[in-house]
Structure 1
C-alpha cells in the first residue's frame, strides 16, 4: 500500500485531500510542514501532501520555501472546498464560548463570524489538532474551527456549519514525491526562477513562454532569503515539461538566467 505523509492531524483537511487523491493509503500525520518533506526525502513515505494556497487567504509561504530548499518534485495537486464548522464539547452553548482555537488561516477565513461572536481567537498548529486538544483538555469555554469529519472523529458537537466568510473557499494541496508525473495530455508544470537584477529581466523571461503560446496560470514572488530585497519567482504554466514547446521554453530560460529549478509536471486538478 502506498505510504503518504500529510500536514496536520487525523481529521484535517490535508488528510481529506490525501484520501481524495490516493483513495487507499497508509497515512502518517505530521506536526510540521518540514516533517512531510523530511519523510519524503528519507523515503520513509512514498508521497507527501501539503497545502500550498487558499482562494481567500493566499499562499502558504513556508511550503514555497521548502519546495525551493528540498530535493522533491510535485507529483499532483488536489483542490478541496473548505467548509469550516464551529466545534465544541457536547452540551456547550454558544454564549459560553470565550476562546476559539484553530490554524491561523482557518481563523482568518472565518473572521467575520468570529468577530460577531466576540471571542478571543487563539492560533493552533492545525484545525483537527485544535479539535482534539479541546476534547482532551475538556475545555467548556472554548471551541475550534475545523471540519465536520474532525468533529465526528473526536465525538464533538457542531454548533455552526459553513462559518467561512466566503462560500467559495478552496484550498489547493500539492502531492510531493522524489519524481513527478508522466505526461497525461492535461498537465501543469511548476518552476522557480531567479533573475538578474536588471531592467526588463522578468519581461524577457516571461517572453519565452508567450512566444510559444504557453499559458501561465500563476506567478508569485518570494523573498530570496540569502539577499535582502531580492526575489525569486514561482511560476505555474500549462503543459508538461517534456512537451516540445515547454522543453524549448525551459531550455531557453536555463541558458539566460542565473537560477532555475523545475519543481515538476503533474495532472491538473479536476
Structure 2
C-alpha cells in the first residue's frame, strides 16, 4: 500500500527534497511515498486531518530566519496531529531565469519570503536592484518565471530542469551553510521510540495573571529539563493573548519530562502535546522502556481528552 505525503509544492521544492530524505531513512510506511503537492503548511496538515494524506512534511525552522511561523500556527490549529521525525536539510539556492529578452526594469525576482531573507544580498549583487515578488514556495517562483510572471527565481537547482529555466548562478546564499529543519507530521498516536537523544514539543496557553509564564517554565528548570526553544504566537482571539510553543530535550518516556508536563498541565489553560521524536543527529538506540511508555501514552491520551 502506497503512503501519501503532503508537501509544499509544486514539484521541485526543498520540502519535496526533505520528503525524499525522510523516505530514504525509512520514516514512512512505504519506501517510495506518493507526494501530494499543496500550497501551504496549513493545507499539508489539513490533508492529514481529513485523511487525504498519511503524513505531511513541513519546514519548521531555518538557521538564518528562525521559526517558520506558518508551520507553528498550523500545528497549533490542527487537531489530532503529531510530529514523528525531523531532518535538517542543507539549503543551496540557484538563481535562474527564463527568456532574458523579456526582463522588466527593475527585474522581478521571485522566491519564498523565507528564502528571500537568505539570498537577497547575493542575488542583487548578481543582477542589480530587483523587485521582490513573494511566492508560496521556491518551486512556485520557478513556475512564475516559466509563465512570464517574474524574470528571475531563487529556487533549488532541480526546479530549473523541471520548468525549463537557465541557471544563472549556483550556491547563491548570503549565509553559506544555511539549514532548514523539516518534520514529519501524522495522525496522533504512539510517539516514535525513545533513543536517548530526543526532542519533545508542546503548545500551551496560560491564565493572564502575573508570573504565570515564570511559574510554567519553572516546572522544567526545577526538574533539569532543558528547553531548546520557546516561541510566543498570538492566539488571534484578542490583543495581548498568546500561546507558547516549547521544545524540550528528552522524550515523553523520560520520567523527568513526563513529570514536568504533568506539572505544566496543572498550571495551564490548555496543553497540546505535539510529539516526541529522535533528534536528527541520533544514532539508533532502543532501550526497553515499555512500562514508562504505557504510563506516558495514557497520560497523553488523558490530556487530549481534557482530563488532568
TM-score when normalising by structure 1: 0.92
Partner of 2:172, secondary structure, is: coil
Please give the alpha-carbon distance, in whole angstroms, between the structure 2 residues aligned to 1:170 and 1:26.
25
Q: Say yes or no: does 1:267 pair with 2:268.
A: no
The 5 A counterparts of 1:224-235 are 224-235=235-246
Deviation at 1:165, TM superposition (A): 0.9
2:15 equivalent in structure 1: 14
- Which stretches of structure 1, 4 residues or more, deviate above 6 A after TM superposition? 90-97
Please give the alpha-carbon distance, in whole angstroms, between the structure 1 residues aligned to 2:8 and 2:54.
15
Please give the alpha-carbon distance, in whole angstroms, between the structure 2 residues aligned to 1:121 and 1:138.
15
2:230 to 219, 228, 244: 219
The 5 A counterparts of 1:4-83 are 4-23=5-24, 24-71=32-79, 72-83=81-92
Is the contact between residue 4 and residue 35 of structure 2 (CA under 8 Å) also seen in structure 1? yes
1:107 equivalent in structure 2: 116
Is the contact between residue 80 and residue 170 of structure 1 (CA under 8 Å) also seen in structure 2? yes
Deviation at 1:94, TM superposition (A): 9.8
1:197 equivalent in structure 2: 208
Is the contact between residue 41 and residue 71 of structure 2 (CA under 8 Å) also seen in structure 1? yes
Please give the alpha-carbon distance, in whole angstroms, between the structure 2 residues aligned to 1:27 and 1:232.
32
Partner of 1:110, secondary structure, is: helix
The 5 A counterparts of 1:114-263 are 114-116=123-125, 117-135=128-146, 137-138=147-148, 142-179=151-188, 180-263=191-274
In structure 2, list runs of 5 or more residues that go unmatched. 25-31, 282-308
Partner of 2:18, secondary structure, is: helix
Name whichever of 111-120 and 43-52 sits farther off: 111-120
Is the contact between residue 216 and residue 238 of structure 1 (CA under 8 Å) also seen in structure 2? yes
Please give the alpha-carbon distance, in whole angstroms, between the structure 2 residues aligned to 1:95 and 1:39.
38
Partner of 1:162, secondary structure, is: strand
Please give the alpha-carbon distance, in whole angstroms, between the structure 1 residues aligned to 2:17 and 2:115.
15
1:23-77 superposed Cα distances (whole Å, 9 cap, x missing partner):
2211111112222111101222111011122111122222211111111111111
In structure 1, list runs of 5 or more residues that go unmatched. none
Is the contact between residue 97 and residue 142 of structure 1 (CA under 8 Å) also seen in structure 2? no
Deviation at 1:102, TM superposition (A): 1.2
Deviation at 1:131, TM superposition (A): 0.8
2:304 equivalent in structure 1: none
Please give the alpha-carbon distance, in whole angstroms, between the structure 2 residues aligned to 1:56 and 1:143.
22
Number of equivalenced pairs: 268
Deviation at 1:155, TM superposition (A): 3.0
Please give the alpha-carbon distance, in whole angstroms, between the structure 2 residues aligned to 1:199 and 1:87.
53
When the two chains are superposed, the root-mean-square deviation of aligned CA atoms in Å is 2.1
Is the contact between residue 240 and residue 265 of structure 1 (CA under 8 Å) also seen in structure 2? yes
For CA contacts below 8 A with separation 6 or more, give which structure has more relative contact order.
1
Deviation at 1:261, TM superposition (A): 0.9
Please give the alpha-carbon distance, in whole angstroms, between the structure 1 residues aligned to 2:110 and 2:172.
14
Partner of 1:44, secondary structure, is: coil
